[in-house]
Each structure stands twice: as structure tokens, then as C-alpha cells.
Amino acid sequence: LTKTNGDVFNAEIYYTTVNQKLAKPFSVKVQYKEKPLSNIPVHFELISIPPKDSKTKIYKSLALTDTNGIAQTEIQLGSQEGEYEFSARIKINTNENDIVYLKAFARNSNWVFFLVSGLIGGLALFLFGMNMMSEGMKKTAGAKLRVILETLTHNKLIAVAVGAFITMIIQSSSATTVMLVSFVQAQLMTFAQTLGIILGAGIGTTITTQLIAFKLTDYSLIVIGLGFAVFFFAKSKKYKSVGELILGFGILFYGMYVMSNAMYPLRTYQPFINVLMNLENPFLGIIVGTIFTALIQSSAAFAGIIIILGTQGLISLDAAIPLILGANIGTSVTAILASFNAGREAKKVAFAHTLFKVIGVLLFIWWIPDFAKFVRSISPGGDSNLTGVSYLADVLPRQIANAHTVFNVVLALILLPFTNMFAKLIEKILPKSDKADEEGIFKTRFLEESLISTPTLALNLAKAEIIRMALKAQKMVENIIIPFLSDNEKIIESIEEQELELNFLNDRISKYLIKIGQESLQGERADEVFQMMHCVTELEAIGDVVSKRLLPRAKLRLEKFVKFSAEGKTEIEDYHLRTMKQISRAVEVLKEVNLVNAKRMEKKYKKYRLMEMELRRTHFERIRQAIPESIESDEIHLDLIDSLKRISSNATNIARIFLELKGEKNKNQHNNADKRNNSDDNKLDGINDDSDYFLN
């Protein structure tokens, strides 16, 4: 500090642990016109100490300057953690400019342990709160995800909005991209459709960052209490989900509070400050941001940590921006890992996500100072009464959040018009492979383990896989009639392979549904899991009837050259056709959950059951007439008719489970619709199921 007459005092700021001497003496220099003054008395005094401290010691309260104009004293801090302040004053007068101050910060001897445990514990609470908030949002709005994805159009702006909305709900752009990897792999959407969603996902994750930037840490316990009250006392599952959301929101901010307090000693820890200063090197900052985000797999969580550094005044906006840029690259690592064992389409999604982020970083890295100025200009100002670190701590959180948002919004605006071009480019970079399936003989097309924690979406995928399984079962039933009506032996090998695949799908889908069932499910979702497991069981039963009953009979017929009578062959073809129609209806019920069709299936099955009895009677009449083919084919003929009836029964059971769980089984509504649709729906190749069936 410079006096009005030119005297100069120099001093330093110290940090140490409790009950320790300062590493250097409190030293001041007195000089006049740049010449040191000797024998000048300097008073060293205690200004402030932490509460309850009585052990602070100044070894020399009065010292004379030496020939170099320096006076100094050693100081030992007390036993209490906190801030200590001392002063050095010339005895000549009491002018304020004759005083120099020293601040010392004392930490507990195990402060590093508390720092690390506070950071780890706070981060755990932060991530746990984010996950709980995500779960609450999924349960509250998760059902809308299915509708959105099912009605997704090719409109690019809608795709961006969808990406932002989904990411806002599941709280992770990484998870959104992994989900897209699954959907493309499952052919639920095209690769080109995902590009707009990927850009929107980046915007969606900044919504979490904006929430974090609100200074709500002081109110976190109130929010936790409110969320717990709603969650614990609410009767409705919907309100419980809202309570879970609020509770997670509060825990998230309490985690920030814990981390913020843990980091407080770092404000004066010079080695850490030096590290943060080095982060203003944009390349180093991007590398650090990429690595840390890849480790915690959430750019929003890492942005929250950067904001916490900002609330302590430990980082500047110019140093925070490279970290944010790196976080955007780091968030793509999860999708890359998810695509390793996926197909080419899924790899394209992960590559597109990474490519977009890298392009964005390359566009922004050269303009960081200008970008920082722009962000400051659009961000609200801080308290005008604050200065220095306190002012930075007041304005930085919102500035950091805005930098994250602006980056992703600008990136989306720049790249969105060129998504078709990017799609073609990525098609060339990752061309189609001529190799056959590298994952084995059989594989699932739709199931994705990473989405099990989002049951609404996982059930969508399970449903698609079950429909695929149903179509394969239908194909088996369609093919099994061939070796009964012709001498084609080659089809048998194909049917045997189809049975193996059906067993594989039964195993994989059942395990997948069990995992979904172990999640926290609302009543409707739990019923849906049960319905799907029931459907899988019935489809597997159809496969068993074909492979264990019909296939051996088909082989026997071919081996012994058994032939059916002309009338018997016609009956078998007709009954098989009706069975195929019943399976087709079951597939439609699965696809659309059409209860009208489900009820009609029950009516049809009653007729098919009576028809089977009539077919047995007409076959018996032919045996009485001593028709040779009927006598020779008796056992095979009856087993075939009975097996087709069983298959019809299994298909009808799929409809029954939907009716039972929907409470529709015994209701008589939609009767008029049944009558209107029966005639058209039951005609196939000139056959009317409603007609009486008596063959002579």
C-alpha cells in the first residue's frame, strides 16, 4: 500500500493448517522515495479470528525496521478453522494508508480428507438426485415418449424439439444417443431421422444446466422436505412421481451445496489455483473436460461441477468455456461404447453424435474470448455492491450455463440445414459390409439393455421384438403344411431352423421382460409386462406344436408316402387357412391392442373348435366308406387337425390376455362394429368363417 507521502508497505497472504506457524513471517517494508528507512517502529496487531479461538500468537507485537527497511514477526494460528486477519501499522500516525493487512486461512490438519470425501459424497448426492429427478420425470411424462417416437415425422425442427424434450426427461444426452443407437438398430427410425434428434439432445441437456445455475442450494433442504412429503403422503402414483421429481431436485442441489462447501478451502490453495489458471489454455481445458465427462457420463453433471467452481470464484468464464466444449465431446463417448457391439446403423448414430460435437468445438475454439464477451453481454449482471472474487462468484454460474446453451443452440442452427449432407457423408465413411451376421446365427433386432431403466421405451422395443417373433411363428405354421400336401423335404430343414430361432427369441425376450419388471413400474406398465410375457409363452407354444407334433408327422408321411383323400386334403387346406387367419388377427391385436378384434377372435375360435369336431366326423365317414387314402392317413390326418386347433387356441389366448387385463372379456360393447366387420374380415380366397361348415 502506498502512503500519501510515498511510504510503501509490502505484504503477502498466507495459508496453512490450524496450530501451525505461518510458512513465512509477516514482513513489511518501509521506504521513503525508494530508500529504506531503518529503526521505524511497526506495530503488529490481531484484527479478527474465528470464534472460540484463544491460541493465536503474534511473537513480536512491536518491531523496528532493519537497514533494509524491513520489520517482521512470526505468527502462529490458533486451533479453529477459518480466516485470521492481522495488520502492520507505523507508529508515526494513524492514517489508514499507513496500515497493511494480512489474511491467513487455517484449515484442519485433515482438510484434504474432508475435501475429497466432500467432493465424492457431494457428487454422489448430485448424481443420485439427478437420477431420481429423471425417474420422477419418466414416470410423470414417460408415457409421452412412446407417443412422440411413434408419431415422429421427417420435419427437422420437430426432430430437434423431440431430442430436447426426451433429453430433458431422461437427463442425459448420452442416454438419448444410446437410445437412438437402439432404435436405429431396431429399425424403429431411420439414421437420417436421428440427426435432428441428436442436435436437439444437446439443447435438452443444457436445460438441466440452467436449472443448476439457479442459486437454490440454500433452499435445498426445504425442497427435499417438500418432495418427501408429497412422495410419502400422496396416494396417487402420479403425485408420488411428482414428489420423487421434487425430492430428486432437492437432493441434486444439496449435493451441490456439499461440493461447494468442500471446495471452499481451495479458494486459497495456490497449487489448485495455478492448475485452474492453466485451464485457460483452451486445448488443455477441452482435454480435461472430455476426460472428466467421459468418466461420469453426463455433460450436465460436469457442467454442474464447473458451475460450483464458479460459485467459489475459482474459475473464470474464459477457463470454463473450454471445459464446457470438452464436456460436449466427452458426452459422445458413452454412445461410442454402446455402438461397439451394435450394427452398422447404430455405429453411424454414434459417429454422427461425435462428429457434430467435434465440428462445434472446432468452430468455437478460435473465438473463445469473443464468445465469452457475447455470453457476458446476454447474461444478467451481478450485485453492484460486490467486487473481485465475490462478484465473479455471483455472475459466473449463469454465464457458464448460458455458454453451454448458446454453444448447443448455435451448433443446431448451423448444422441442421446440412443433416442430409452429413447423412450421405457418414454413409460413405461407414459403408455397408458384405459380411454376414457377425453376432451368431440368431440375434434380437430390437432389444436394448441400456433402455431397461426407461421402461416405457424398453416396452416399446420388447413389443416390436414380440411382433417379430409372432411373424416367425406365423411363417412356421404357413410352411408346415407344405410337407403334408407335397413331397417337398427341403422345407423341413428351414422349419427346424425357425424353431431354434423361436426358442432363442423366447429366451431373450423373457429375460428382457423380467429385467423390465424389476424396475419401478406403474400399474399399467406392470400389466403390460405381464401381457407381453404371456404372449411370448403362447408364441413359443405354437412353435412347440409345429416342431414336436406336426414336424414328426410330416416326416412320417414323407417316409411312408402317405396320401390324403381329395376331400380330406381340401378340408386340411381350408382349416389350415383359417388357422393362419387367426394368427394374423393375433398379430394385429399385438400391434394395435385392438380389443374389438380380440373379442372377435374368441368368437372365431369357438367356431373353429366346432369345425374341428365336424372335420373329425367327416373323416370318420370316409373311413366307413373304406376310402383307402383316408384309412392310410387316419392317424396323421387327425393329429394334423388337432394340432391346428391347438395353434388356433394359442393364438386366441393372446387376445384373451388383453381382454382380461382390460376388463373387457365379459362386456358386450362394440357388437355393432363386430357385425359390420365380420363379413369383410372373414373373407379370404372366397372363404367365409361365419358360414356353416358341413362337408359331405
Is the pLDDT at 12 greater than 60? The verdict is: no
Of 109, 134, 168, the residue at which a domain comes to its end is 109
For residue 55, what are the domain limits? 14-109
What's the rounded mean pLDDT across residues 184-207?
79
Domain harbouring 500, CATH code: 1.20.58.220
Bridge partners, residue 100, by sequence: 88
Q: What is the pLDDT of residue 443?
A: 82
Q: What is the pLDDT of residue 171?
A: 66
What's the rounded mean pLDDT across residues 627-638?
86
Query: Is residue 423 situated within a structural domain?
Result: yes
Q: What is the pLDDT of residue 188?
A: 64
Same domain, residue pair 98 and 154: no
pLDDT in tens, 135-156: 776 676 655 665 665 555 567 7
What's the rounded mean pLDDT across residues 219-239?
87
Residues contacting residue 93 through CB under 8 Å, at least 6 positions apart: none
478: helix, strand or coil: helix
Q: What percent of the chain has pLDDT over 70?
A: 81
How confident is residue 358, by pLDDT bands cut at 50, 70 and 90? very high
Query: Is residue 442 situated within a structural domain?
Result: no
Residues contacting residue 377 through CB under 8 Å, at least 6 positions apart: none
Query: Is residue 508 situated within a structural domain?
Result: yes
Of 65, 84, 109, the residue at which a domain comes to its end is 109
Nearest to 140, CA basis, from 170, 162, 116? 170
Task: Describe the crossing of helices 317-330 and 344-364 by its angle, rounded to 10 degrees.
Answer: 170
Q: What is the pLDDT of residue 436?
A: 39
Query: Is residue 5 situated within a structural domain?
Result: no
Same domain, residue pair 25 and 134: no
Query: Is residue 357 situated within a structural domain?
Result: yes
What's the rounded mean pLDDT across residues 456-478?
89
Q: What is the pLDDT of residue 95?
A: 53
pLDDT in tens, 322-356: 999 998 898 887 677 767 766 676 678 888 888 99
Model-level pTM? 0.58
Q: What is the pLDDT of residue 342?
A: 62
How confident is residue 387, by pLDDT bands cut at 50, 70 and 90? low
Is the pLDDT at 552 greater than 50? The verdict is: yes
* Gap between the Cα atoms of 499 and 497, Å rounded: 5
Q: Are 39 and 70 in contact (CB under 8 A)?
A: no
What's the rounded mean pLDDT across residues 631-659?
89
Lowest-confidence region among 104-113, 603-612, 650-659: 104-113
What's the rounded mean pLDDT across residues 667-678?
45
How confident is residue 676, by pLDDT bands cut at 50, 70 and 90? very low
* Gap between the Cα atoms of 48 and 54, Å rounded: 11
Q: What is the pLDDT of residue 303?
A: 82
Domain harbouring 33, CATH code: 2.60.40.10
Task: Please identify which residue in the block is written with the cell numbers 467459489.
Answer: 312
Give one DSSP letter per residue of 410-426, joined into a string: HHHHHHGGGHHHHHHHH
Query: Is residue 1 situated within a structural domain?
Result: no
Is the pLDDT at 688 greater than 70? The verdict is: no
Q: What is the pLDDT of residue 131?
A: 76
Same domain, residue pair 38 and 161: no
Same domain, residue pair 367 and 474: no
pLDDT in tens, 13-37: 567 888 888 878 888 888 888 888 8
Is the pLDDT at 680 greater than 80? The verdict is: no
Same domain, residue pair 576 and 526: yes
How confident is residue 646, by pLDDT bands cut at 50, 70 and 90? very high
Same domain, residue pair 47 and 120: no
Same domain, residue pair 262 and 142: yes
What's the rounded mean pLDDT across residues 610-623?
88
Same domain, residue pair 66 and 173: no
The 3-class SS string of 39-96 reads CCEEEEEEEECCCCCCCCEECCCEEECCCCCEEEECEECCCCCEEEEEEEEECCCCCH
Same domain, residue pair 96 and 156: no
Q: What percent of the chain has pLDDT over 90?
A: 19
How confident is residue 580, by pLDDT bands cut at 50, 70 and 90? very high
Same domain, residue pair 541 and 650: yes
684: helix, strand or coil: strand
108: helix, strand or coil: coil
pLDDT in tens, 54-85: 889 999 999 998 988 899 999 999 888 888 99
Q: What is the mean pLDDT of the chain?
A: 80
Given the DSSP bridges, would you call strands 75-76 and 70-73 parallel, antiparallel or unpaired? unpaired
How confident is residue 11, by pLDDT bands cut at 50, 70 and 90? very low
Q: What is the pLDDT of residue 644?
A: 92
Of 109, 138, 173, the residue at which a domain comes to its end is 109
Q: What is the pLDDT of residue 390?
A: 73
Same domain, residue pair 164 and 248: yes
Query: How many CB atoms lie under 10 A from the CB of residue 472?
Result: 17
Q: What is the pLDDT of residue 142?
A: 57
Query: Is residue 434 situated within a structural domain?
Result: no
Residue with the larger pLDDT of the pair 470 and 346: 470
Lowest-confidence region among 113-117, 294-298, 430-434, 642-646: 430-434
Is the pLDDT at 634 greater than 80? The verdict is: yes
Query: Is residue 284 situated within a structural domain?
Result: yes
Lowest-confidence region among 304-308, 390-394, 424-428, 556-560: 390-394
Same domain, residue pair 96 and 116: no
Total domains in the chain come to 3
Is the pLDDT at 434 greater than 50? The verdict is: no
